[in-house]
Structure 1
């Protein structure tokens, strides 16, 4: 497959070489036009308004109907989208039962701004993460110790940290974008050595993302997240049990609309990793149908509609970028054609291993600790503390938990993890990743790094297979992963 990847201009897709899907310019901290001061005042005071049960009154009686015509630049439109989506989610979910009819003074400008940006009129990953952060000291590097968030629903340290983990995740992911595209170019140049190097760098990048995810619990308490933060991130699709059987009506004379809530599936970076590596997700692949039986034409399997729909919740330029990459990536086809080149196949499988590990950590750490355990905590369920939205929907069976995006959470994420493992091309790696009933379960698989934490490869003592490039000093013996 011929690719034009090497001529893609990332700036045209609102992608920054150093910050990835975070825009190169910092999000504005406020709209410069005083005309929009009422939006700024109410949105920045959401925690106080929610705490004192005044959010509904503030929107209905203190928010004027403002025109969007004075939003003259793209950063201003993005800031307006952040303000308005935070307000609508806070307005809907701050009451019990939730408010299902949004007044015109909020609904009309939100619908107009969303149309201009090509985004849904609801809080999305873009409004809570990509366009909602600040750097504490501009003279210092952009890292977790130098980041703070913009708007929040609760005003809590936990909520700010929850968003900032994703902000830094996107920033570090810029390296993954770079090396994935380099791997495609290496295939086009028939340069196996460059391809292997790019795969190693991509594997290290994915591993760095997993390390960031593991930092969530440092400053975000699972119970605070589940009972206080998560309800405001929910959408109004598949939310009948939470009190919105018809979705939300945008204006008294408007129509009911159903939109999914914020979800990591709306991260262009996560979908990019799947696309660049050729990882495909299918519908109805849960316990009953997974693993799938091989058929002659894999295209007969229906693709996962949820993941495809989540692209509509991404900024337009990012959607176009994913489409361009999907049409040009050639990595998996190249790897499958290299039957005799073990190094190429193992380099690819290293990336698959890292991506599977990322999804395993997401399941075992984030989903288990932040959703499953709090939901099952009997003492919390039996308390008299006021709960809103999803915090009131304690399902008896874990499989029935609904995520903020409206999916059957555990089944969906487990399937994504298993389908990632299924992409490995080396037999023993696939067996190891899928925990197949064989000697693979007893293997000792280690990922190898040098003293500068540069990924070098991995090895398995049981089968005496190594994929390691020694450095010039011959001292690549630093193990930081041990499965």
Structure 2
């Protein structure tokens, strides 16, 4: 009896402690801090092999708890036990694993504008531009900058259209030769800023409410009690917008790049890209809710740079037939995607520390901001005639992060309607982003095909680890879509 406790203590000390890196490399599974080798049990699993492959190489405690398991299953687990994960808390002195946090993006201090050869460099900087967005423009476009600074105040009082006509109608060029001459002196970053500015000003011109305080003015309301929007843009707005859009090879519309990717500045120029260090350059309403909504997307794009670097590394690993590197990079991709879903997306639902109200109230978003950024049918003065346009408003679906992941992993949308919508959105995406997508789509093979084709050529436990890492990435993609 006296030896029972010491013997039990020695048994505990003899249990193997396994690093998280080894769990990932071998495709083992962690449940309640214990590590199990399921490779020989996968094909016999009553729930099917796919369920186990989907959790290989990571902590599956939540998935295990979700399903009911019989006592026979628990006994079977004891036979598969190989050790304890050394990141699990097994004593009072052990420290829990640190939660994922914002990194500030791939470049916490970005390049200066005069150091940029190309405004977009997806491989190096992700889908944000290589330098912080341009704030100032030369004449005659500087008038747009000044007008955008007071846009929220003018729209709330219904005076924006009058101010735009007074300040811009005689100041902006309206024929192609004059516009081309004024555009030729702009850098790529300045052209992007101009495209964004014209998007804000044109949509405010179309959707801005009339001045209800103007004497003698009668405001007609529709059946829902809303003021009707304009559906026509004059040449002094439409022609510059169309010409700069043609230069950038995009649609004449405020797109995701215009209200997110090229619409921010850092309060501390040397500081990281995080919510407390960002402000929007242009806004419709001036509300904190609008700023918080778009800042969340800026953070997602910044942190998404790690996703792009993982995709590049995965492509290289497949090209070099380096299975070990491929496995490691798939785990890195999963972590990067998980950071977006678990750290970045919840920023949207942050509450104010002072009164606990949402920083982005859904009511204010849908009824104050959404009317400005909805899709439109508009007629524009073009050259000597008029042209009708049907244009999609800016949407998070215009982000290139998930389409890039889909392309390399080999994920196919089963909905034809969804595929058509995604394809239509690509006309609103910077051409460099489209070129990056095309390169991934035209790669010799996707990760899915690569893993499937190696089942008979690599060691069994290695293949199961690869399949598990691939399925884990798929699960993270679904975090954005369900």
Confirm or deny: 8 A CA contact 1:144 1:168 kept in the other structure.
yes
Determine the structure 2 residue equivalent to 1:47: 152
1:156 matched to 2:287: yes
Q: What does residue 251 of structure 1 align with?
A: 381
Matched residue SS, 1:159 = helix
Deviation at 1:275, TM superposition (A): 1.1
Which of 262, 280, 287 in structure 1 is aligned with 2:412?
280
Aligned partner of 2:448 among 306, 320, 332: 332
Contact 1:18 1:171 in 2 (8 A): no
Instruction: Decide which moves more: 312-321 or 136-145.
Output: 136-145
Mapping for residues 47-126 of structure 1, pairs under 5 Å: 47-64=152-169, 65-66=172-173, 67-68=178-179, 69-71=181-183, 72=185, 73-95=187-209, 96-126=227-257
- Distance of 1:281 and 1:271 partners within structure 2: 10
- The Cα shift of 1:16 comes to 5.0
Residues 1:306 and 1:266: Cα distance change in structure 2 (over 3 Å): same
1:158 CA drift (Å): 1.1
* Conservation of the 8 A alpha-carbon contact between 2:119 and 2:130: no
Distance 1:119 1:280, change over 3 A: same
2:122·2:433 contact (CA, 8 Å) conserved in 1?
A: no
Q: 1:19·1:170 contact (CA, 8 Å) conserved in 2? A: no
Give the 5 Å matches for 1:183-262. 183-210=314-341, 211-218=343-350, 219-236=359-376, 247-251=377-381, 253-262=385-394
Q: What is the CA deviation profile of residues 84-128 of structure 1, one whole-angstrom value per residue up to 9, with x for unaligned ones?
A: 011111112224211001111111110111111111111100100
TM-score (norm 2): 0.64
Moved more, 38-47 or 203-212: 38-47
Cα distance in 2, alignment partners of residues 86 and 98 from structure 1: 15
Query: SS at 2:325's partner residue?
Result: helix
Alpha-carbon distance, 1:310 to partner: 1.1
Give the whole-Å Cα distance in 1 for the aligned partners of 2:163 and 2:235: 13
Structure 1: how far apart are the matches of 2:198 and 2:369? 18
Equivalent position of 1:417 in the other structure: none
CA distance in 1, matches of 2:119, 2:239: 28
Unmatched runs of 5 consecutive residues or more in structure 1: 1-9, 237-246, 286-302, 361-483
Q: Is the 8 A contact 2:123 2:312 kept in 1?
A: no
Q: TM-score, normalised by structure 1?
A: 0.64
1:323 aligned onto 2:454: no
**Counterpart Cα distance in 2 of 1:39 and 1:354:** 41
1:79 and 1:103 mapped to 2: Cα distance?
Answer: 21
* Cα distance, 1:170 vs structure 2: 0.7
Contact 1:21 1:268 in 2 (8 A): yes
Aligned counterparts of 2:339 and 2:303: Cα–Cα separation in 1: 8
Structure-2 separation of matches of 1:274 and 1:262: 21
Residue by residue over 1:46-90, the C-alpha shift from the partner in whole angstroms, topping out at 9 and shown as x without a partner, is 111110111222233431333432332111111111110111111
CA separation of 1:108 and 1:12: change in aligned 2, threshold 3 A: closer
Shift of 1:255: 1.1
What root-mean-square deviation, in Å, do the aligned CA atoms of Structure 1 and Structure 2 show? Answer: 2.0
**Over alpha carbons, which structure has the higher Rg?**
2
Aligned partners of 1:310, 1:153: CA distance in 2, in Å?
A: 22
Closer/same/farther in 2, CA of residues 130 and 319 from structure 1, 3 Å limit:
same
Secondary structure of 1:35's aligned partner: coil
Give the deviation of 1:350 after TM superposition: 0.6
Provide the rounded CA distance (Å) in 2 between the counterparts of 1:284 and 1:271: 15
Q: Distance in 2 between matches of 1:162 and 1:351?
A: 26
State the Cα deviation string for residues 26-47 of structure 1 (Å, max 9, x = none): 111121x243232122222211
Inter-partner Cα distance in structure 1 for 2:386 and 2:149: 27
Count of residues in correspondence between the two structures = 323
User: Cα deviations across residues 108-162 of structure 1 (Å, max 9, x unaligned)?
Assistant: 1101111111111111001000111001101222222211111010011111111
Structure 1 residue runs of 4 or more that deviate by more than 6 Å after TM superposition: 10-13
**Once the 2 structures are TM-superposed, how far is the Cα of residue 206 of structure 1 from its aligned partner?**
0.5
Matched, 1:139 2:270: yes
Instruction: Report the Cα distance in structure 1 between the residues aligned to 2:134 and 2:125, rounded to whole angstroms.
Output: 16
Tell me the secondary structure at the aligned position of residue 258 of structure 1.
Answer: strand
- Which residue of the other structure, out of 128, 136, 159, is the alignment partner of 1:22? 128
Match of 1:346 in 2: 468
Q: Is the 8 Å Cα contact of residues 119 and 129 (structure 2) preserved in structure 1?
A: no
- Cα distance in 2 between the residues matched to 1:70 and 1:121: 18
The 2-side partners of 1:12 and 1:305 are apart by: 30
User: What secondary structure does 1:214 align onto?
Assistant: helix
Deviation at 1:284, TM superposition (A): 4.4
Structure 2 SS opposite 1:261? coil
Counterparts of 1:267 and 1:275, CA distance in 2? 14
**Contact 2:327–2:465 (Cα < 8 Å) also in 1:** yes
Q: Secondary structure at the match of 1:256?
A: strand
